[in-house]
A and B are shown apart, each in its own frame.
Chain A
Amino acid sequence: MPLEPFERVVARYGPAVLRVCTAVVGPVDAEDAWSETFLAALRAYPRLEPGSNVEAWLVTIARRKAIDVHRARSRAPLPVEELPLPPASGTEDDGRSLREALKTLPDKQRRAIAYHHLAGLPYAEVAVILGNSEAAARRAAADGMKTLRALHQAGDLP
């Protein structure tokens, strides 16, 4: 099957790529990372092997671009070491505090959660991106979720 029009790729995977970018660098830098990702993908697209896993390909580019964007802003190295203060109140900060909490997880756990729970990739594809096995990807996500749940129960998350 030949490559489909790139517009369809953007429509189908744009939301997942945005979630991955947001999970890795936060909502502000995520837009730069998203833009860099799809521009790079558009450039390389005609050379993509037809029948490739487009989603995993995009997520791989997105992860690299998100890290590039983050480095260019020369902020604290990923992942963030300290836990943010819990938000004072309300639901507006929920997403941000969750993202901040995500950043405190070890790299593989954070990525496994981002790709599986936010981007919707099955564990087999998460494993391809992480370079480990399906079982290891599943375990990393589960361990990360356990930490997040513990934080949540301790009242550090809304």
Chain B
Amino acid sequence: MNEPLGGSWNAGRHPAPHTPLDAGGAAEPAVLERLHARLVNAAAQEHLLDIAYRIVDTPIGPLLLAASEQGLLRVAYAREGHDAVLEKLAARISPRILLAPARLDRAASELEEYFARRRTHFDLPLDFRLAKGFRREVLNHLPDIGYGQKASYAAVAAAAGSPRAVRAVGTACATNPLPVVLPCHRVVRSDGTAGGYVGGPDAKRALLELEAAA
């Protein structure tokens, strides 16, 4: 399983000393796993779990999924650095962040269906807090580009009400906090070439091919 944070339970500054008193350590990982699950449940119940995250494996690599109580907040490619993405979420939204897969079950299964070509659009509550102003306006228009279709940056700019803001559309796509779910991969250059992508050119090509083959 991919876990970006705290791979080792004993990663503290002070190494755990092996004195005669340090007894019963063998059962610890199982106990800690159980306690972690209990903490996640209690935190969710008391509305203290501001951001839940998990990592799902997909044909385009591991994707970090993070959700607030409102909805899906962030989808991140490995190349963005999952640790760095979580740190930014801590600074920008809240540091109350736990590895808590259950909240992301629906997003994970919709993504699985999408990659298996059994789903052509996402039906998930979304939290748009990470996008402001014109960028958010652009993101709102992305789902209008249907599955298997493509639109130029210029066409998206026009749809968002600012036909001359072609560059700003490029920026909005490059900083899309919810790639794949909000299909910025369907936005391409006017000459038909793919253009840049937050997940890298290979991921963009793979997504366009996946949808074209359906």
Contacts and interface: CB of A to CB of B under 8 A. Distances in A.
A117 interface: yes
A106 B196 CA distance: 67
A2 B92 CA distance: 10
B89 interface: yes
A158 to B, nearest CB: 10
A113 B90 contact: no
Given A4-B87, A8-B5, A34-B35, A120 B97 contact: no
Contact of B23 (A35, A43, A94, A121): A94
Contact of B38 (A11, A35, A152): A35
A31 interface: yes
- What DSSP secondary structure best describes chain B's contact surface? loop
Interface string A119-158: 0111000000000000000000000000010001000000
Interface string B1-44: 00001111111111111011111100010011011101100110
A120 B39 contact: no
A15 interface: yes
Contacts of B51: 5
B14 A18 contact: no
Contacts of B14: 120-122
A117 B32 CA distance: 20
A38 B22 contact: no
A22 B22 CA distance: 11
Contacts of A80: none
Given A5-B90, A45-B95, A121-B14, A15 B32 contact: yes
Contacts of A11: 5-9, 11
Contact of A117 (B12, B17, B24, B86): B17
A55 B20 CA distance: 23
Contacts of A122: 14
Given A10-B6, A39-B48, A42-B96, A120 B12 contact: yes
B32 A5 contact: no
A14 B9 contact: yes
A54 B32 CA distance: 19
Given A14-B35, A94-B23, A121-B14, A5 B43 contact: no
A95 interface: yes
Query: Which of the four size classes fits the interface of chain B?
Result: 35 or more
Nearest to B29: A15
B188 to A, nearest CB: 35
Interface in A23-53: 27, 31, 34-35, 38-39, 42-43, 45-46
A102 interface: yes
A13 B8 CA distance: 11
A22 B25 CA distance: 11
B24 A39 contact: no
A16 interface: yes
A8 B14 CA distance: 16
Given A5-B95, A45-B95, A120-B14, 16 more contacts: A2-B87, A5-B86, A6-B97, A6-B98, A7-B6, A7-B53, A10-B6, A10-B36, A11-B11, A14-B32, A19-B22, A31-B34, A46-B95, A102-B21, A120-B12, A122-B14
